[in-house]
Structure 1
Amino acid sequence: MRAISAFVLTAAAILATALPASAAQVEAAVAVQPQARLEARGAAVVVPTQVMCQNGATGSLWVQVTQNVRGELAVGDKYTPSVPCTGELHKVDVTVVSRTKAFRQGVAFTSASLNAYLPPDSSGIAEDNREMRIVR
């Protein structure tokens, strides 16, 4: 019985050293601010966000806005391929253009996703989902 236990432990140790180490997590955070600004008679909204990603990483940001406008959805999204990654908070204003109908003043639901990558194989994702108020 002891020979089998020793064999199992030895095999497990060899297997553990043969497997690659898991990728480290990159620090990342995103926060959608509670108020957005209506632009171009509702064709777009400017969504202020705050982002933070680890110094030396590269970051990209995706923001989506959905609003119920008289029973129909106004929806738009915007991908920002590069945001500052210094380890500090940065304000990033994202202009989201509606793909359906015009946005209007009032409540909308907003989702934001920050992807951060640090070569050679470290990454991190941060998300924020919240209601925000669209104002003029």
Structure 2
Amino acid sequence: MKVPSLRGARSARVLAVTAVAGGALVAAVLPSSADVSTQSPPVAAVRIESPATLVARGAAIAGDVSVVCQPGATGNLSLEVTENAGGKIAKGYGSTTITCTGSFQAVTINVTAQPTVPFKAGTAFGSANLFLSSQGIGQAKDEREFKIVRASSKLA
């Protein structure tokens, strides 16, 4: 009975290990030409900040939204808010136009309550949307819960 030779299997393993090691060495030594994260930053990002402040005894809230987008881009930033205010649903919407600086910007949007139910101090749900209309069309969205406080509570 003839014993099978391991020489062929061993040389294949050596070649495979050598190829992987060689490829890793080449990748480590050569400069990267496709660093995607620095060459193509995201078009935009938004984040609803907490807390928002009651305005005019609940007729509106002043909600802060953090925005970052490509410098020079312009667009529309909107904030829609829904809150369970004592068993009734308070809703409102506000928007503003922005010009992007390329850095984080804090933008305050006044959200006016619909006529029948005012906002109250408590927890609300918001949806912020940014639609860019210049220098390449783009958009960003954030949805989250946030607190609504009275004006004097925000400073404390």
Q: State whether TM-score is above 0.5.
A: yes
Cα shift readout 1:89-116 (whole Å, capped 9, x = no counterpart): 1110111110131100100001100111
After superposing on structure 2, the runs of 4+ consecutive aligned residues of structure 1 that deviate more than 6 Å are none
TM-score normalised by L of structure 1: 0.75
The unaligned stretches of length 5 or more in structure 1 are: 1-23
For residues 73 and 27 of structure 1, what CA distance do their matches in structure 2 show?
34
- Structure number with larger C-alpha Rg: 2
Matched, 1:45 2:42: no
Q: Percent identity?
A: 42
Correspondence for 2:149: 135
| Structure 2 residue runs without a partner (length 5+) | 1-39, 151-156
AA in 2 matched with 1:125: Q
Confirm or deny that 1:68 pairs with 2:84. Answer: yes
2:113 is matched with which residue? 98
Provide the secondary structure at the position in 2 that maps to 1:41: helix
Aligned length: 110
Q: CA RMSD in A?
A: 1.7
Does residue 116 in structure 1 map to residue 150 in structure 2? no
Q: Using the alignment, how far apart are the partners of 1:61 and 1:53 within structure 2? A: 12
Distance 2:41 2:47 in 1: 19
CA distance in 2: counterparts of 1:59 and 1:108, whole angstroms:
25
> Structure 1 CA distance, aligned partners of 2:88 and 2:103?
39
Q: Is the 8 A contact 2:82 2:91 kept in 1?
A: yes
Normalised by the length of structure 2, the TM-score is 0.66
Tell me the equivalent position of 2:98. Answer: 83
Q: CA deviation at 1:60?
A: 1.0
The structure with higher relative contact order (CA 8 Å, sep 6+) is 1
Larger helix share, 1 or 2: 2
Contact 1:53 1:59 (8 Å CA) reproduced: no
Higher strand share: 1
CA contact 2:51–2:148 (8 Å) conserved in 1: yes
For 1:59 and 1:87, how far apart are their aligned partners in 2? 13
